[in-house]
Structure 1
Amino acid sequence: MTLCPTPAVHAPGSAHLLVCLISGWSKVSKNAAMVILDPDTAHPSLVVSENQRSVKWRGLWQDVPDNPERFDCETCVLGSEGFASGRHYWEVEVGGGRAWAVGVARESVRRKGWINFCPEEMIWAMDQCGSHYRARTFPDTLLSWTGSPGRIGVYLDYERGLVSFYHPGIEAPIYIFTSSFTGQLHPFFWVYSPITLCP
């Protein structure tokens, strides 16, 4: 993974500055989407489960086709369904993993070569790298958030240009991206720690 420049620090409470733009978690979670993973996009070292609801990093490349949809450098996989309108919410079980990213990416996101996980690359995501949580802006934004999340909720409001992240059960978002979207957006995952999509 190619890292962005030295990250800025996200001041305590500043993630809440845009909270008036969206509903709290209890309302957001009612827009639940059934997300399944697209194995044709998965990096060769990733193993997607038979039901396409979980993925883990194997460390060894599998013998899979080098199709145009597949990430060949970054250990990423996309959700199979893209969204070009509406509101959608899904939760990801990250457990105690310390190397993952979740968010959304435009269908036209680059699949070949190293990429920055930034809106400029059409990726809106947050991650955990060791003990740090970051919003993948340019430069990265360090999040003043501690503890093991267990689950992360991702909320997309396409028309309003919002991607927000939640700790399920907590009303205030962890972080909110604002943008103007075109084309289909797919659930996005960068995987070194195993992740599972929740019911």
Structure 2
Amino acid sequence: MTEQSFAKISRRSLLGAFAATVVTAAPTYTKAAGFLRSSGDIRRIKMYNARTGENLDMIYWIEGEYLADALTEISTFMRDWRSGAVKQVDLRTVDIMAAAHNLMEIKEPYMLLSGYRSPQTNAMLRSRSSGVAKNSLHMKAQAADLRLASRSVNQMARAAASCRAGGVGRYSGSNFVHMDCGPVRTWGA
């Protein structure tokens, strides 16, 4: 048995075990983290930002501990690129993003379209589009809008929604998926 086929069996076993226990009242945070347990003793996030030209390939968790320097770097990467404002990104959002990425079994990094948004940026975007929430979780650094060239919006959304750890929005017309650590819900087409 190859290492790759062993990983697939492990993920299937994990998904089966998760499906059997999804009705239990576990905290939202542990649901996304549960999908990451199959990835061993590390958690990694890979993204690039076409607007800033920055790339991020970061191990942010090792053997049960978040790495403070890595989290600072992730928060800086996910800053409001329009204003330069930085806010500490909610770790639950990073875990959801990493778990969905692992479930899709890809090496391609996410393209980050929007992470943290300052209230001023959110208000400006809201004035231009009805699709921007007044109290967006982007302003709390609890959301990310992401794209992948190798996966469809539906594939990405299904992977994120299977974590049952937050909100997942499909924006097929704009070719991106919104992931957040707010209440479990889905929307869009």
Question: Is the TM-score greater than 0.5?
Answer: no
Q: Structure 1-normalised TM-score?
A: 0.25
Q: Structure 2-normalised TM-score?
A: 0.26
Identify which of structures 1 and 2 has the higher relative contact order when contacts are C-alpha pairs closer than 8 Å and 6+ apart.
1
